[in-house]
Amino acid sequence: MRNLLMAAAAGLLLASCETAQNANALVGTWSGAEWLVDGKQVPARNAAATSFTFAEDGNYTYTNEGVVEKGLWKIQDDKLYTTPAGQTEMMVKIARVTKDSLVFDMNRGGLPETLTLVRK
- pLDDT score recorded for residue 68: 97
Residues 18-28, mean pLDDT to the nearest whole number:
77
Q: What confidence category does residue 95 fall into, taking pLDDT thresholds of 50, 70 and 90? A: very high
The conformation of residue 89, written as its DSSP 8-state character, comes to: -
Q: Domain ranges for the chain, please list them.
A: 2-119
**Contact indicator for 28, 54 with CB cutoff of 8 Å:** yes
- pLDDT score recorded for residue 108: 86
The fold adopted by the segment(s) 2-119 is: Lipocalin (2.40.128)
| 6 pLDDT above the threshold of 60 | no
Residues 74-79, mean pLDDT to the nearest whole number:
95
| 43 pLDDT above the threshold of 50 | yes
Instruction: Please report, as a single letter, which amino acid is at residue 25.
Output: A
Give the count of alpha carbons within 13 A of 97, CB side only.
21
| CA dist list (Å): 84 to 9, 13, 113 | 33, 29, 20
Pick left, alpha or beta for residue 59 (phi over 0 → left; psi -120 to 50 → alpha; otherwise beta): beta
pTM of the model: 0.81
